[in-house]
């Protein structure tokens, strides 16, 4: 669905073009008139985007027009970022010249000095202008007209996230399964027996499993309780390793599956356990047998709950008569829908909406996931909005296309919920297609990625980008696009059907590259955002086509807890690829096998986010300060990192510097207190005033938030110096104080 990202990006571009400081600078560079003309034509195109959004559902030509427009918008935004970066570079150069007469010693990136700005950008602007004129003419040929958007709902943003305890109509199923969980299973010859929960996607299998898992009787009956998400990637080693970490609380490395399963056998030995394997897709009996070998050491009466859509494996395991979890009854479905749409369990107080509600429930196939999504979409909406949902073209089977049976039932409901999001929320949701199924989302880390991509830019905003991102995440959570993780309320997951939806709407610009993904050179060139799911024994040659993705903005290497730096020849991949992708804004290489960061990385002038965590690097490049746009730098767990370069102090836009777990990094550069935008700085070590960080430097870091550890307080010379730090004015949640002799005091901050 190109309309959302296109609309959001065009809005950002027009705001940049309207900025007075930006206009003043481009006038000085002689490219003002060209950019002004671009803005005028883009404004007229923006006026028809709402009509295009409605028509793309059934008109392939309009859909392609939107895709072409979004590609062009990306190109325009890259040019504007080039201009803004050059302006920033000149401003910083002036500051440096003012502070030193040795201008010749300034290190200026080569990519700034070759040609004048207008000389470098004019060919790009000319090409963009030609394409924009083509699209401008095509809008008339496609019959696109100016169409008023629906009036903004005054209650937007007041949604609440209903607790999972609001479960309707599963009492009978729960009672039956509880008896199987807690009773004696005379039919099983093994120490554990399997309790399957089978049904189509979105019917509520995981919800039912959660009800059982958290039941007080169940909690008291078993010694071990473990919940593991499986999904369609049935990697025995990975699942076993996750299982070991869950039952032992340890992160250990194992040479092979045999060693790992021996350790698991000891963990389960003579203990009565409850293991939930959620969303099992495999139909391979041998794979299943290998996975469960360690479970035979458990005590009699142990249970394995398996939620699945597939019945073939269960038949091979001897389950001939399976009770499928059915859709809710019409009455229960209507009650669940009312809870999410109206906040009550019936339509008794809303008789005029009852008929509409019944029709929507029928269209949702009485599936709980669909009912929740549509219910939250309609919460506090007018009756007219209910009619719009009922009459939407998205319910049309022709629009659904050639999809699986599960998808054909639930897809229209989920798509309607997506369609009702604001343009920016749609873009944030689509971004999550870069992450694999069952991925555990950290809200703060995801918000930083969104910010680095430029998705959280708010004009005339009184709140920070990070705060806007938190609000946006909560909005998606309130509409069931995210859910709380089963075992950790601080983390979040996305239902696999929601992940499928994100992949569907993002497919023209986002690529998640997994072990089974085939990459063709001609296909890769169109993508702007890519992720590589860190697989064991990956093949370097598979990534060769990435070198053709010269418009790439995002490259995420996602390590799923393998802690194996040798998945592929990552050093070669890293060194060879970076010169080919000069437009990168987000680069995450956490956990891969690199011990040195090549200097070329300092030429990625658009870079906002750099993650080198869990690598073997010993230092950062001397010219790291050339990354004027850098907002987030993460080097967590880089235990070999010993020092930061002097140019670090040129990172004026740096907001988050996370270096937790870097014991060898003993001191910060003198003058780091001048980085006024810093919000994350987990630790500081107080030095003598002339040789390192002085506590008085904290005075200028007014934006610090979160957790802060201060070491070496014995070197603070007076109470006045400590007072100058103004710690009470910062948004700290925890402050840890260390006087340097092993004494330590931590306190929460209110």
Q: What are the residue boundaries of the structural domains of the chain, listed by start? A: 2-141, 171-316, 678-750
Q: How many CA atoms lie within 13 A of 595 on its CB side?
A: 2
The pLDDT of 740-750, averaged and rounded, is 53
- Give yes or no for a contact between 618 and 640, defined as CB atoms under 8 angstroms apart: yes
- Give yes or no for a contact between 693 and 721, defined as CB atoms under 8 angstroms apart: no
Residue with tokens 């085939």: 518
> CA 505, CA 5: separation in Å to the nearest integer?
10
Residue with tokens 């996607």: 201
Structure tokens at 363: 């269209």
pLDDT of residue 569: 54
Q: Is the pLDDT of residue 72 over 50?
A: yes
The pLDDT of 55-69, averaged and rounded, is 88
Confidence of residue 562 (pLDDT cuts 50, 70, 90): low
- Give yes or no for a contact between 705 and 678, defined as CB atoms under 8 angstroms apart: no
* Closest by CA position to 135, among listed 15, 11, 10, 36: 10
Model confidence pLDDT, tens digit, residues 687-711: 766 666 778 888 888 899 989 888 8
The pLDDT of 506-523, averaged and rounded, is 76
Q: Is the pLDDT of residue 103 over 50?
A: no
Q: Is the pLDDT of residue 745 over 70?
A: no
Please report, rounded to a whole number, the percentage of residues in the chain having pLDDT higher than 90.
41
Task: Provide φ and ψ at 289, rounded to 5°.
Answer: -60, -40
pLDDT of residue 283: 85
Q: Find the DSSP H helices in 551-704.
A: 570-577
**319: burial class by Cβ within 10 Å (0-12, 13-18, 19+)?**
middle
Q: Find the DSSP H helices in 19-59.
A: 20-28, 32-46, 49-55
The pLDDT of 628-656, averaged and rounded, is 94
Model confidence pLDDT, tens digit, residues 42-51: 999 998 988 8
658: left (phi over 0), alpha (psi -120 to 50) or beta: beta
Q: Which CATH architecture has domain 171-316?
A: 3-Layer(aba) Sandwich (3.40)
**Contact residues for 734 (Cβ-Cβ < 8 A; gap 6+):** 706, 707, 708, 746, 747, 748, 749
pLDDT of residue 112: 47
Model confidence pLDDT, tens digit, residues 498-511: 898 899 889 889 99
Average pLDDT, the chain: 84
Q: Looking at per-residue confidence, does 277 or 53 come out higher?
A: 277
Q: Is the pLDDT of residue 446 over 80?
A: yes
Q: Looking at per-residue confidence, does 311 or 131 come out higher?
A: 131
The pLDDT of 160-165, averaged and rounded, is 40
The pLDDT of 543-549, averaged and rounded, is 73
pLDDT of residue 347: 94
Axis-axis angle for helices 330-342, 368-378 (nearest 10)? 30
Please work out, in degrees rounded to the nearest 5, the angle formed at the alpha carbon of residue 478 by the alpha carbons of 658 and 160. Answer: 115
Distance separating the N- and C-terminal Cα atoms of the chain: 43
The pLDDT of 283-304, averaged and rounded, is 92
What stretches of 147-220 adopt beta strand conformation (E)? Answer: 192-198
Q: Looking at per-residue confidence, does 560 or 113 come out higher?
A: 560
Q: Is the pLDDT of residue 624 over 90?
A: yes
Residue with tokens 């343009």: 423
Residue with tokens 């020092």: 643
Q: Is the pLDDT of residue 744 over 70?
A: no
According to DSSP, the β-strands at 510-513 and 529-533 are: parallel
The pLDDT of 416-445, averaged and rounded, is 91
3-state secondary structure of 592: coil
Q: How many CA atoms lie within 13 A of 437 on its CB side?
A: 19
> CA 339, CA 161: separation in Å to the nearest integer?
11
What stretches of 102-248 adopt beta strand conformation (E)? Answer: 192-198, 224-231
Confidence of residue 159 (pLDDT cuts 50, 70, 90): very low
Model confidence pLDDT, tens digit, residues 641-651: 998 998 999 99
The pLDDT of 165-173, averaged and rounded, is 79
3-state secondary structure of 711: strand
- Give yes or no for a contact between 730 and 702, defined as CB atoms under 8 angstroms apart: yes
SS3 track for 595-629: CCCCHHHHHCCCCCEEECCCCCCCECCCCHHHCCC
Least reliable range by pLDDT among 238-252, 397-411, 620-634, 653-667: 397-411
pTM score = 0.80
């Amino acid at each position: 669905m190109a309309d959302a990202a296109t609309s959001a990006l065009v809005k950002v571009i027009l705001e940049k073009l309207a900025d007075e400081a930006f206009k003043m600078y481009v006038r000085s560079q002689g490219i003002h008139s060209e950019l002004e003309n671009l803005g005028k034509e883009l404004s007229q195109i923006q006026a028809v985007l709402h009509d295009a959004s409605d028509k793309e559902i059934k008109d392939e030509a309009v859909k392609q027009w939107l895709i072409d427009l979004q590609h062009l918008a990306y190109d325009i935004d890259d040019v504007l970022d080039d201009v803004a970066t050059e302006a920033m570079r000149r401003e910083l150069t002036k500051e440096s010249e003012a502070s030193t007469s040795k201008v010749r010693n300034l290190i200026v990136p080569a990519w700034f000095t070759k040609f004048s700005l207008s000389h470098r950008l004019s060919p790009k602007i000319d090409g963009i202008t030609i394409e924009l004129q083509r699209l401008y003419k095509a809008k008339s040929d496609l019959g696109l007209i100016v169409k008023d958007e629906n009036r903004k709902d005054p209650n937007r943003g007041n949604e609440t996230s209903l607790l999972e305890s609001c479960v309707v109509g599963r009492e009978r199923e729960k009672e039956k399964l509880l008896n199987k969980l807690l009773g004696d299973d005379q039919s099983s010859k093994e120490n554990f027996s399997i309790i399957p929960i089978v049904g189509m996607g979105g019917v509520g299998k995981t919800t039912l499993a959660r009800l059982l898992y958290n039941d007080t009787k169940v909690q008291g009956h078993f010694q071990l309780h473990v919940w593991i998400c499986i999904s369609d990637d049935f990697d025995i080693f990975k699942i076993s390793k996750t299982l070991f970490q869950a039952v032992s609380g340890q992160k250990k490395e194992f040479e092979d599956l045999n060693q790992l399963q021996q350790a698991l056998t000891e963990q389960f030995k003579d203990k009565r356990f409850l293991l939930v394997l959620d969303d099992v897709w495999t139909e391979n009996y041998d794979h299943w047998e290998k996975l469960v070998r360690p479970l035979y050491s458990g005590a009699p009466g142990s249970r394995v709950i398996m939620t699945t859509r597939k019945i073939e494996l269960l038949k091979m395991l001897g389950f001939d008569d399976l009770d499928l979890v059915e859709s809710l009854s019409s009455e229960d479905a209507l009650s669940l829908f009312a809870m999410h749409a109206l906040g009550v369990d019936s339509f008794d107080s809303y008789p005029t909406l009852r008929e509409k509600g019944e029709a929507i429930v029928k269209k949702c196939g009485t599936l709980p996931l669909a009912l929740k999504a549509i219910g939250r979409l309609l919460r506090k909406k007018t009756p007219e909005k209910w009619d719009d949902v009922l009459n939407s073209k998205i319910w049309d089977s022709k629009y659904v296309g050639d999809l699986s049976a599960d998808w054909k039932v639930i897809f229209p409901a989920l798509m309607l919920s997506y369609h009702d999001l604001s343009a920016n929320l749609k873009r944030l949701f689509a971004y999550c297609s870069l992450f694999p199924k069952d991925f555990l989302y950290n809200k703060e880390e995801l918000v930083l990625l969104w910010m680095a991509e430029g998705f959280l830019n708010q004009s005339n905003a009184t709140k920070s980008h990070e705060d806007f991102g938190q609000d946006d995440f909560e909005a998606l959570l309130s509409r069931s696009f995210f859910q709380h993780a089963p075992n950790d309320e601080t983390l979040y997951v996305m239902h696999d059907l929601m992940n499928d939806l994100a992949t569907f709407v993002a497919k023209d610009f986002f690529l998640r590259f997994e072990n089974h993904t085939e990459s063709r050179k001609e296909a890769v060139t169109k993508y702007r955002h890519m992720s590589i799911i860190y697989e064991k024994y990956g093949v370097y040659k598979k990534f060769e086509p990435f070198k053709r993705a010269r418009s790439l903005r995002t490259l995420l290497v996602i390590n799923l807890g393998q802690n194996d730096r040798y998945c592929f020849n990552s050093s070669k991949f890293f060194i060879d690829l970076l010169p080919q992708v000069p437009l990168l804004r987000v680069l995450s290489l956490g956990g891969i096998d690199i011990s040195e960061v090549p200097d070329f990385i300092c030429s990625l002038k658009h870079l906002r986010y750099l993650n080198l965590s869990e690598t073997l690097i010993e230092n950062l490049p001397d010219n790291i300060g050339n990354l004027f746009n850098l907002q987030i730098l993460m080097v967590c767990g880089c235990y070999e990192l010993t020092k930061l370069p002097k140019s670090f102090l040129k990172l004026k836009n740096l907001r988050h510097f996370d270096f937790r777990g870097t014991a060898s990094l003993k001191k910060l550069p003198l003058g780091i207190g001048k980085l006024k935008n810093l919000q994350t700085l987990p630790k500081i070590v107080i030095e003598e005033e002339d040789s390192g960080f002085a506590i008085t430097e904290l005075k200028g870091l007014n934006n610090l938030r979160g957790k802060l550890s201060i070491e070496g307080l014995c070197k603070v010379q007076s109470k006045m110096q400590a007072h100058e730090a103004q710690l009470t004015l910062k948004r700290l949640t925890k402050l840890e104080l260390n006087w340097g002799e092993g004494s330590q005091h931590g306190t929460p901050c209110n």
